[in-house]
Amino acid sequence: MKIVVTGGAGFIGSHIVDQLVALDHEVVVVDDLDPAAHHGEPAGLAAGARYRWADVRDRDMWSEIVSGVDAICHQAAKVGLGVDFADVEDYVGRNLAGTAAMLSALHQAQFRGRIVLASSMVVYGEGRYRCPADGVVRPGPRGRDDLEAGRYEPACPHCHQALVPEPVPEDHWLDPRNVYATTKLAQEGLCDAFAREHPATTVTALRYHNVYGPRMPRDTPYAGVASIFRSAYERGDSPLVLEDGGQRRDFVHVTDVARANVLTLTNPDRTPGPFNICTGAPRTVLDMAQALRPDGAPAPRVVGGYRLGDIRHVFADATKAELLLGFIAAVPFETGMRDFSVAPLRQSRK
């Protein structure tokens, strides 16, 4: 197959490219080396792929590479919560205008293949909660007063009892709580709209949970929490854990996420729709900070505090991906975190 991987020099994208090249697929990478995540061209890129250092919003670039393409693996995006709302234009430009330009080019080329979109668990907002009295309920955003008072757990919106978090299925309601989350849901909507007008095209949105592993970017507001904690340990500091550390997430290794993409791209049966890409075994943020701790390093510090727009618990039901994609996460939490504690973070070619 001839496959275009946008963002293919990035953290997740580069692992996808490695696995596709190892299977002898023809891979074209499109990446603009965004300085928010890159410091020049990364070292260790797969030699068997072809690279175009270009922005996905460049329509002339698309007209040059789209001929004969069987599938698009769309990983290019600005990720994370960012610095503050001033980032909004960059998120919308990169994530939405970039996706729109790609889809417009595919429309002009009468593309008939597969699109695999890197989506995210952030589209769910808060996860799924059950009230002992009212059943499954939808709590609203956590209020500043509650967060400042250390009341981190959302309460039932009807009777105010404590809630029990449950795994989120793909048909759960969608409630993005920040700019990044809003753009990821809008990316799904744009790709679905394209598929409705192009019945020969299949769109699959892979909703990644908390991805970690080698090549994560270091020391940037857009990095994942695992990278931020890992960088703190490298400096000899204690990682600072917000709230009480009890936030539950599903931490999934990057090689498993890459394999989920490859399975989706190469599956003999096309598999439209959203899929949770996760382990099905949630852990707390404090669990992760402790698992990353090297021998002799200072312990993580739980410091309270909060970030508006962040959520308390979100972890997923992994059943659908197993049944339809044949995907089961293979890297255990303890093994993955131990290996990541000494694995290289992203480096630039000298």
Residues classed as catalytic: 180
Give the DSSP letter of residue 96: I
**Nearest-10 Cα torsion for 151, 157, 160, 166:** -70
List of residues 6+ apart from 196 with CB closer than 8 A: none
Whether the Cβ atoms of residue 180 and residue 304 lie closer than 8 Å to each other:
no
Angle at 50 between CA 49 and CA 52, to 5 degrees: 135
Run of H or E residues at 262: helix 254-266
Euclidean distance between CA atoms 276 and 317, whole angstroms: 7
Here the tokens at position 262 are 């490859």
Q: How far, in Å, CA of 123 to CA of 184, rounded?
A: 7
Q: Are 317 and 167 in contact (CB under 8 A)?
A: yes
What is the residue whose two structure tokens read 């044949």?
326
CA distances from 266 to 3, 20, 41, 198 (A): 10, 10, 28, 20
| Token reading at 92 | 């919308």
Q: Strand (E) positions, 263-326? A: 273-277, 283-284, 301-304
C-alpha 348/C-alpha 350 separation (Å) is 6
Q: How many helices (H) and strands (E) does the chain have?
A: 11, 16
Find all residues with CB under 8 Å of 303, minimum gap 6, and list them. 240, 241, 242
